[in-house]
Amino acid sequence: MPDPLPQAGEYDIVGIGFGPSNLALAIALHEHNRGVPPGQSLSFAFVEQQPAFGWHRGMLLDDATMQIAFLKDLVTLRDPTSDFSFVSYLHVKGRLVSFVNHQSLFPSRREFHDYLEWAAGRVSHAVAYGRRVVDVRPVYDGADVALLDVVAADGSGGTVSYRARNVVLATGLVPAAPLGVELSDRVWHSDSLLHSIERIPVRPAPTFVVVGAGQSAAEAVGYLHGRYRDSQVHAVFTRYGYSPADESPFVNAIFDPAAVDTFFHADASVKEMLLTYHRNTNYSVVDRELIHELYRRHYQETVAGETRLHFAHMSRVVDARTRDDGVDVTVRFLATGETRHVDADALVYATGYRPADPLDALGAAATWCKRDSEDRLRVDLDYRVDTTDSMKCGIFVLGATEAAHGLSSSLLSNAAVRAGDVVRAVAGDLAAGTDGAP
């Protein structure tokens, strides 16, 4: 297969990672170039280690829906007239009228993923798939760093370099398991649920343990309970029960683009207060509809006297010993210290994600990036990393900036607006005749 990008050349922007954030950026760059004279266009390329576009494929469960409205797609909040919108996608697919008749703001996760793939396919000429970034090397002009070489493994033992005036890091989220947990063929993170369940044989009446109290945990419980009609599913969490997500309109406004600006300029104590107050919009919470559905199933089973769905509240998994055909799980009830054992076919940790450290991808170039008193990257409102004076290239981070930009920093809610901010910043540098430095 020919290289999707030339192996040599300079780009105004090279993006590392190609999930929804950098996909939104690629679209914003594509649309910027359609609307400006050739001399003002921006050249761009993206490097992605996956062989094709994919976004949490292991959790594309039946009936799982998005937690954001379809209007918070890759473009609409930046440009409602864009032909990359979810509405345009529905029109192309011939489902626009049917979707309207469906009367829902929240598409299925499977359909939204199909939308993302459709959009990614339209800018695939700018993406080098199957290439893992192994280094970012400075290119000097005297004592200054004039350019950055993004070096990626080409899959055949060699490397390919993409020379950049600006680098945009969007390396996404990393599945997080509790300290000391080793994932295996029988112990999984929920992110790989669909892939892992197909790789193991299960008994005729399988047993599963799912750890976690958030949306992914509740979805995994519901999926396993529904797919295996004779299964036993044990949900284990330290809370007393699942907590509903606060999606009320006033609180949901914390994800608005204007709220990002307000948050960014607030004092550190105010930022911490807001993050604490409103964590229940995004962390360890579950859609009310799903909570009621799981409770309904459990209640109906108690009526029938055949309980398959078990909720171990105020509990924690304290030991898990993997066998070839399963895993022995020990669960402790925190109120009394009493333990019980579950002979499970698989143990699933639905314990969330953490932002990937963007500096891991920067290699030696990380030494030019400034940090704050908490050892976090110093990032401006337009997502540009604050660098030393000798760094003349722009380095931007999408995601991993919650402390600076608030709860929406790694979410789809502001992907379109974030992309526009970066394009304006780089285009402004070009129009001013400056390099990528602020």
Q: What is the mean pLDDT of residues 2-18?
A: 75
* Residues 120 and 202 placed together within one structural domain of the fold: no
* Residues 166 and 184 placed together within one structural domain of the fold: no
Q: What is the mean pLDDT of residues 381-397?
A: 96
pLDDT band at 1 (very low <50, low <70, confident <90, very high): very low
Q: Which of 321, 353, 385 is the C-terminal boundary of a domain?
A: 353
From 369, 359, 427, select the one nearest 399 (Cα to Cα): 359
pLDDT band at 5 (very low <50, low <70, confident <90, very high): low
From 413, 409, 412, 377, select the one nearest 395 (Cα to Cα): 377
| Domain contains 251 | no
Tell me: pLDDT of 22 over 90.
Answer: yes
| Domain contains 261 | no
- Tell me the per-residue pLDDT of 103-138, one tens digit each, with 9 for 90 and over: 999 999 999 999 999 999 999 999 999 999 999 999
| Domain contains 250 | no
**Structural domain range at position 309:** 176-244+283-353
* Residues 236 and 339 placed together within one structural domain of the fold: yes
pLDDT band at 63 (very low <50, low <70, confident <90, very high): confident
Tell me: pLDDT of 4 over 70.
Answer: no
| pLDDT for res 6 | 46
Tell me: pLDDT of 93 over 50.
Answer: yes
* Residues 196 and 235 placed together within one structural domain of the fold: yes
* Residues 35 and 163 placed together within one structural domain of the fold: yes
* Residues 201 and 135 placed together within one structural domain of the fold: no
Tell me: pLDDT of 359 over 90.
Answer: no
| Domain contains 426 | yes
| pLDDT for res 154 | 86
- What CATH number does the domain containing 292 carry? 3.50.50.60
pLDDT band at 81 (very low <50, low <70, confident <90, very high): very high
Alpha helices of 108-147 — where are they, by DSSP H?
109-122
Question: pLDDT higher for 155 or 130?
Answer: 130
Q: Which of 353, 379, 406 is the C-terminal boundary of a domain?
A: 353
Q: What is the mean pLDDT of residues 288-309?
A: 97
pLDDT band at 434 (very low <50, low <70, confident <90, very high): low
| Domain contains 300 | yes
Q: What is the mean pLDDT of residues 169-180?
A: 92
* Residues 340 and 363 placed together within one structural domain of the fold: no
Question: pLDDT higher for 358 or 251?
Answer: 251
Report the chain's mean pLDDT, rounded to a whole number.
Answer: 93
Question: pLDDT higher for 202 or 421?
Answer: 421
Q: Which of 327, 353, 379 is the C-terminal boundary of a domain?
A: 353
| pLDDT for res 222 | 97
Structural tokens at position 395: 């380095």
Question: pLDDT higher for 347 or 431?
Answer: 347
* Interatomic CA distance for residues 106 and 294, integer angstroms: 20
| pLDDT for res 2 | 43
In SS3 terms, 152-198 reads as EECCCCCEEEEEECEEEECCCEEECCCCCCCCCCCEEEHHHHHHHHC
> In percent, how much of the chain has pLDDT > 70?
97
| Domain contains 4 | no
Q: What is the mean pLDDT of residues 297-301?
A: 97
Q: Are 385 and 396 in contact (CB under 8 A)?
A: yes
Tell me: pLDDT of 272 over 80.
Answer: yes
pLDDT band at 172 (very low <50, low <70, confident <90, very high): confident
Structural tokens at position 119: 């959009």
What is the total count of domains within the chain?
A: 2
* Interatomic CA distance for residues 385 and 395, integer angstroms: 5
From 423, 368, 415, 416, select the one nearest 390 (Cα to Cα): 368
- Tell me the per-residue pLDDT of 183-241, one tens digit each, with 9 for 90 and over: 999 999 999 999 999 999 989 999 999 999 999 999 999 999 999 999 999 999 999 99
